[in-house]
DNA sequence: GATGAATGAGTATTCATTCAT
DNA sequence: GATGAATGAATACTCATTCAT
């Protein structure tokens, strides 16, 4: 990797971290360059605009999460575990996530909305593939797979993204997932064990 | 209603309409006062700050939608129809909604997130009440009612808010609603007729 | 005159003086507000943009010069004197002209070009009127009056604007003016006396 | 011509074309190097600064126009035709002039002013020579030749540079040229035929 | 109740220039 | 001869908010 590319990667990581912790709108270009220890001109040498920086940051996140999802996909895990594994992989990576649930704060609404949109686009095909696999194995039974998968993503996001969910939320998640995909009751029981 | 109150109501409506059409962040106080034909001072006579204006605008919307939901609640309609009626009532009112799906645009992410949060708080108890009514009538059968109702709202929002849904989306909505509430298959079939 | 108007007039005068002495492009808005002792916001309360400030400054100058020209026009002076008087009136006013010939410096090219264009538009009709008067009195004899008057203005500007003209320049000016307007030789001799 | 010189000539032509079409101030060094397909460093290898580039561009133009004027001068044409031929040669060369009258646009005021100044310096001696020739031949009769020639240039520029002149302008040009140089009426009549 | 002139910290972006490779 | 990453001072403009009248 060349020098310029390293600088840009570093910038992206710094921008990401600031956007998450302060919100995109509350992070100024000055904040980013100060944190990165570079000059204004260097920032604009690498990015067209602040908005384009956001797009690149989001692209980087999506790539990471899609990569993690693809690893789960190609693992030898049972289909239900793959489903849950992919959903679980869709959280910003640990070290870079300053505060749990930061993305859900109102000042991150814009970023969150953009990420969610692109995440759905990216992950629905992957998850659909796993569901097909489950149907082939006789574990699931349903039609309109992409639509159902999208609903599954939305529900998961609602329940787990903020990091504040109850045991009752988990019960509903298990029930709804089984019914959404046409699985036998109990298929998703293993989820309970994953959480505490 | 006194004159001052009328001015304030008008201001709220104008602010609402601008926030929706341009986004909260892209609407300046100058935009609002120009549209309203009042002076800067007058605006700050009525509102503490721009942010508080947003809160009041949202409060106004929530009140309207809750009122609409309550009317459905107290109507004599059958329980499944009430459920759908309440969900359908949760759309910004006609005249004031310049463009279908405007609230879903990225520049409205903040407003949308705030509205969604308060809407869930407000509507979950109402919908839960209807579900209880359905259970008492033997139409529904489920536990963890508020959690399920919240999922129902999230799903509905995802499917219908943008105004861009397919027949397959509707089928999934019907299926998931029946299963989420433990209703007999076919209970929600009437939804199909509502949408063309 | 109201307070706001006074502020704006003062701003215009300050902007004018800075534009002339440093050039439009080399005068920053910060320079203007510092010189005026007002806040950035106050500047933008009065002016849409820096460019519009320039337009207003030019408008103010043109108005002043046109007013001076009109006074000469309505004076009882003989027609040839009126012609020269109007041309002489088209110089920026003394107190406000920091340096003789400042407008001709390269950094003022933009401003100078804009002023010249508008000045020609404004003054050609006035001067044409005087020439018509001269024709009626049998002093001048020519056709295509506006075109000739425009040439007269261009020539005067070239000779006198920089403040660096020779006796030979004056001789050529006298000769060309007489011939351009179809006057008897000697009609413009009085010009020699005006200069030294 | 060596390679480096060729590169520099190409750069000058590109800079010229951009300066003319966008204005000097609105053309960035980035614009130039992008158009030329070279790196920043290469630009600064060839030019000291952007301003010096402008000076060289102007120098190149002046050289071209002076060369064209000199060719007319040494042609065997009759003196009045030489005069007009030289004036006509003072237009930016065809292929490089994107839009007729571009140099007259406000954003080109600086460049135009610089060119005009140097053009007058360069061309007045050449034209004066032709006028002397005309006097020797008894075609013209006047004193203060350089001053008169300068006026002739200014008038020509005013009338023809923008490319928007009327038949009346041409009549005034013919009349004034004859009188300025002390030529017999009709001497310049051939000009009419040159323009349509 | 209402006005509107004044505020000033904040913001993204531009751009000529440098220099190590 | 040529590159391109890095610089940083400069700049125009925004906008929520205040307050004397």
Q: Look up the pTM and report it.
A: 0.88
Low-confidence ranges of chain B (pLDDT < 70): 1-4, 92-100, 196
Residues in chain B within 8 Å Cβ distance of A109: 109-110, 112-114
Q: A159 Cβ partners below 8 Å, 6+ apart?
A: A165, A169, A170, A172, A173
Instruction: Please give the Cα distance from B193 to B196 (Å, whole number).
Output: 6
Check residue C96 and give its pLDDT: 52
Name the nucleotide nearest C29; use CA and C1'.
F12
Contact C113 D109 (CB under 8 A): yes
Q: Is A25 on the interface with B (CB under 8 A)?
A: yes
Residue–nucleotide distance: A28 CA to E10 C1' (Å): 9
Architecture of the structural domain at B50-194: Orthogonal Bundle (1.10)
List Cα–Cα distances, A11 to A1, A27, A50, A73, B11, in angstroms: 15, 13, 12, 31, 43
Output the six-digit token pair for B124: 């979950």
> Is the separation of the CB atoms in C50 and C25 below 8 Å?
no
d(CA D147, CA D131): 12
- pLDDT at res. D102: 79
Q: What is the pLDDT of residue B8?
A: 87
pLDDT per residue as tens digits for the range D54-112: 999 999 999 989 999 999 999 989 999 999 999 999 876 545 555 667 788 888 999 99
Residues in chain D closer than 8 A to C169 (CB atoms): 147
Neighbours of chain B (3+ CB pairs under 8 A): A
Tell whether B110 lies on the interface with A, counting CB pairs under 8 A.
yes
Q: Can you state the angle between helices C145-160 and D167-181, rounded to 10 degrees? A: 50
- The pLDDT assigned to B37 comes to 93
- For the D1-47 domain, the top CATH level (class) is mainly alpha
Are D and C close enough to touch, i.e. 3+ CB pairs under 8 angstroms? yes
Nearest residue by alpha-carbon distance to C1' of F18: B41
pLDDT at A96: 52
Backbone angles phi, psi at C71, to 5 degrees: -65, -40
D–A contact: 3+ Cβ pairs < 8 A:
no
Q: Which protein residue lies nearest to nucleotide F6, measured between its Cα and the C1' atom?
A: A42
Q: Which of D157, D150, D145 is nearest to D112 (CA)?
A: D157
**Interval A110-164: pLDDT, tens:** 999 999 999 999 999 999 999 999 999 999 999 999 999 999 999 999 999 888 8
Quick one: CA torsion of C23, C28, C34, C37, rounded to 10 degrees?
Answer: 90
Q: Name which of B83, B124, B175 is nearest A169 in CA terms.
A: B124
Query: Please, what is the average pLDDT of chain A?
Result: 91
Q: Which residue from C6, C49, C45 is spatially nearest to C24, judged by alpha carbons? A: C49
pLDDT of residue D163: 84
Cβ C39 to strand E below 7 Å:
yes
Task: Report, in ranges, which bases of strand E sit under 7 Å from a protein C-beta.
Answer: 1-20
- A107: nearest CA partner in chain B: B110
Does the distance separating the beta carbons of A114 and B110 come in below 8 Å? Answer: no
pLDDT tier, C71 (very low <50, low <70, confident <90, very high otherwise) = very high
Q: What is the pLDDT of residue D98?
A: 53
Strand E atom within 7 Å of C1 CB: no
Q: Which two tokens stand for residue A35?
A: 């944190």
Angle, helices A79-89/A109-136, rounded to nearest 10 degrees:
170
Task: Specify burial of residue A195 (Cβ count, 10 A radius: 0-12, 13-18, 19+).
Answer: exposed
Q: Let me know if D123 is exposed, middle or buried by CB neighbors in 10 A (0-12, 13-18, 19+).
A: buried
Two tokens, residue A158: 């609602």
Asked whether strand E has any atom less than 7 Å from the CB of D30, the reply is yes
Residue C185 near residue D182 (C-beta atoms within 8 A): no
The pLDDT value recorded for residue A164 is: 87
C169 to D147: CB separation less than 8 angstroms, yes or no: yes
Confidence check: pLDDT of D124 > 90: yes
B147 at the A interface (CB within 8 A)?
yes
C10 touches strand E (CB under 7 A): no
Q: Distance between CA A185 and CA B77 in Å, rounded?
A: 33
Whether A contacts B, i.e. 3 or more CB pairs less than 8 A apart, is yes
pLDDT in tens, C145-195: 999 999 999 999 999 988 889 999 999 999 999 999 999 999 999 999 988
Residue nearest to nucleotide F2 (CA to C1'): D42
DSSP string, D153-164: HHHHHHHHTTS-
Q: Which nucleotides of F are covered by protein (CB under 7 A)?
A: 1-20
Q: Is the CB of C3 under 7 A from strand E?
A: yes
Q: How far apart are CA B39 and CA B166, in angstroms?
A: 47
Of C113, C147, C168, the CB nearest to D172: C147
Q: How far apart are CA D110 and CA A30, in angstroms?
A: 35
Q: pLDDT tens digits for C75-116?
A: 999 999 999 999 999 876 545 555 667 788 888 999 999 999
pLDDT-derived band at A93 (thresholds 50, 70, 90) equals low
Residue D116 near residue D157 (C-beta atoms within 8 A): yes
Token pair for residue C15? Answer: 């902007």
Return the pLDDT at B100: 63
Residue D195 pLDDT: 82
The interface residues of chain A toward chain B in range 47-106, judged by CB-CB distance below 8 A, are 106
pLDDT, residue A163, reads 84
Model confidence at A98: pLDDT above 60:
no
Tokens for A19? 């956007």
Fold match between domain B1-47 and domain B50-194: no
D123 pLDDT tier (thresholds 50, 70, 90): very high
Chain A residues 27 to 86 whose Cβ lies within 7 Å of strand E are 27-30, 40-41, 43-45, 49-51
Least CB–CB distance from A154: residue in B113, B158, B179? B158
Give the DSSP letter string of D68-133: HHHHHHTS---HHHHHHHHHHH-S--GGG-SSTTGGGSGGGHHHHHHHHHHHHHHHHHHHHHHHHH
C-alpha–C-alpha distance, residues C123 and C125, integer Å: 5
Identify which of D5, D153, D45, D48 has the alpha carbon closest to the alpha carbon of residue D91: D153
Going from N- to C-terminal start, the domains of chain D cover 1-47, 50-194
Structural contact between residues A108 and A114, judged by C-beta atoms closer than 8 angstroms: no
Q: In B74-143, which residue ranges form alpha helices assigned H by DSSP? A: 79-89, 109-136
């Amino acid at each position: 990797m060349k020098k310029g590319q390293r600088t840009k990667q570093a910038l992206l990581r710094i921008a990401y971290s600031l956007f998450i912790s302060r919100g995109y709108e509350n992070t100024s270009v000055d904040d980013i360059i100060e944190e990165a220890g570079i000059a204004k001109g260097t920032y604009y040498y690498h990015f067209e605009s602040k908005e384009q920086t956001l797009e690149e940051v989001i692209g980087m996140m999506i790539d990471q999460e899609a990569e993690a999802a693809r690893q789960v996909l190609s693992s030898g895990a049972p289909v239900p575990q793959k489903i849950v594994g992919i959903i679980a992989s869709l959280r910003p990576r640990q070290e870079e996530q300053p505060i749990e649930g930061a993305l859900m704060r109102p000042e991150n609404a814009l970023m969150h909305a953009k990420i969610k949109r692109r995440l759905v686009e990216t992950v629905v095909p992957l998850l659909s593939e796993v569901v097909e696999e489950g149907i082939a194995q006789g574990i699931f039974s349903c039609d309109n797979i992409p639509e159902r998968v999208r609903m599954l993503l939305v529900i998961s996001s609602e329940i787990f993204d903020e990091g504040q969910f109850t045991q009752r939320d988990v019960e509903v998640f298990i029930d709804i997932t089984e019914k959404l995909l046409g699985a036998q009751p109990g298929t998703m029981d293993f989820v309970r064990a994953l959480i505490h």
